[in-house]
Amino acid sequence: MRKETMLPEAFLTRMKNTLGEEYAAFLESYEHLRYFSLRINHLKDPFEESLCLLSQKEPVPWAEGGYYYKEEQRPGRHPFHEAGAYYIQEASAMAPAALLSVKPGEKVLDLCAAPGGKSTQLGDAMKGEGLLVCNEIHPQRARILSENIERMGIRNALVLNHDPAVLSEHFPLYFDKVLVDAPCSGEGMFRKNEEAVEEWSEENVKLCAQRQQDILESAAGMVCPGGLLLYSTCTFAPQEDEGAIAAFLIKHPEFHLKEVPLTGGMECGNPAFLRETEAFRGGWEMEKELLKTVRLWPHKLKGEGHFAALLQKDGSSKADRGSSFGFEKTDPEKKYPEWTEFRKSYLKTELSGEYLTFGDQLYLVPAELPSLKGLRVLRAGLHLGTLKKNRFEPSHALALSLKAEEALYSLRLTPKEAVGYMAGETFAAQGEKGWYLILSEDYSAGWGKLAGGIMKNHYPKGLRKQIFLEN
């Protein structure tokens, strides 16, 4: 809970002028406990086990697989979380990816992707088909993004660490859909993050607005003719929301706003917010256009608040956009016999894509992947494992991407037993010797290797932790 006196005075003054009669209800929302939510990962079917954690089972109206839960349920402290069964994500933040409506087989870019909530939501919708490029400019945040892509078992994702301007040069007119959840002044984070309050200033709002235009400029050049661009923020500042879109449309008449369905308390944007700002210069036609933007207000729905705008680029070009694979195609049977032997011995599924090595690390990359020359790549598709002399050691990422029926051998653990496995414990087991896919209930969690009645634990040492299940 937050009292009025704890919020920046300049912020409160602006919101009072912006909202008018609704200001009291907006302010009152800060006195309420915030809502908690997660999103089921459909790549990890079945998911009924995850739902059993949710006594409410109340869906988030605008996001498939989104559910509210009670704070005391603590789903982040459960082995299902480590197995990628769901992603803990604020409900409003689920709206942008949902509004972009990606489809399997498309080329999709999440330009400001960390920590990964929206990327994993996009990956879920793509069902492993097509190419998902996830980029984050900050190296440490990019590593967290890559870890979350791995945890959720996404096979067709490329994780990059670049300034958006660099990517714009590398992927001209390439993507069917681009998501820009832009860095912003974070006013929608005030209720759950005290640092956001401390860092806020009117000057920072202006700086964010300028940075957002730079990012949008880079994004515009990567959208193919007829493609879609989704812009979003978690702030209420008109300069960063309706103002950002107005400024972008004035500079880029080849884009136009598309109407989206308003669900669960969403409202259209309000161009009137701009009338006293420098951002508004478009007259009545611009005002009419900006009504197609979307606002999620914390006093009108169960969420912290968000802004979104869906734009489409003119044209319908079907021309080649550089979709050819950027590396020499190889015959894995001949070039990677260690992997071939492992696949035939322990997997019951064929994995589609092309093969790529970084040193002794073997990756399976989407066939749609272009050349990566000159790019900082943290993850190139699915990390299969390590090529060692006369043998292959499978990766944790491969395990998390598999379903039980895709592995020849698997071992199902109860959540209590999975807690021990994720802490690094070995345990007795019976069966054929070799590699086993370890399951937490029905969710893939990692590898074990059985020999002499003992299951050797191959859960990565860097991920091992003590998890305390609630009684």
Sign of CA dihedral 408, 413, 419, 421: negative
Asked if 96 contacts 179 with a C-beta cutoff of 8 angstroms, the reply is: yes
The DSSP code for 50 is: H
C-alpha–C-alpha distance, residues 366 and 455, integer Å: 33
Structure tokens at 297: 């207000």
C-alpha–C-alpha distance, residues 105 and 184, integer Å: 31
The tokens 């002399």 sit on which residue?
A: 389
Residue 466 sits at φ, ψ, to 5 deg, of: -90, 120
Asked if 134 contacts 162 with a C-beta cutoff of 8 angstroms, the reply is: no
**Bridge-based pairing state of the strands 86-88 and 107-110:** unpaired
CA dihedral 158, 159, 160, 161 (to 10 degrees): 180
Residues forming the active site: 234
- Listing DSSP states for 275-292 in one string gives TTSTT--SHHHHHHHHTT
C-alpha–C-alpha distance, residues 311 and 256, integer Å: 5
Asked if 215 contacts 180 with a C-beta cutoff of 8 angstroms, the reply is: yes
H-assigned helices in 378-464: 396-401, 415-422
The tokens 């207000």 sit on which residue?
A: 297
Asked if 363 contacts 380 with a C-beta cutoff of 8 angstroms, the reply is: yes
Sign of CA dihedral 428, 430, 436, 438: negative
C-alpha–C-alpha distance, residues 197 and 207, integer Å: 16
- Listing DSSP states for 63-126 in one string gives STTEEEE-GGG-GGGSHHHHTTSEEE--TGGGHHHHHH---TT-EEEESS-TT-HHHHHHHHHH
Asked if 173 contacts 197 with a C-beta cutoff of 8 angstroms, the reply is: no
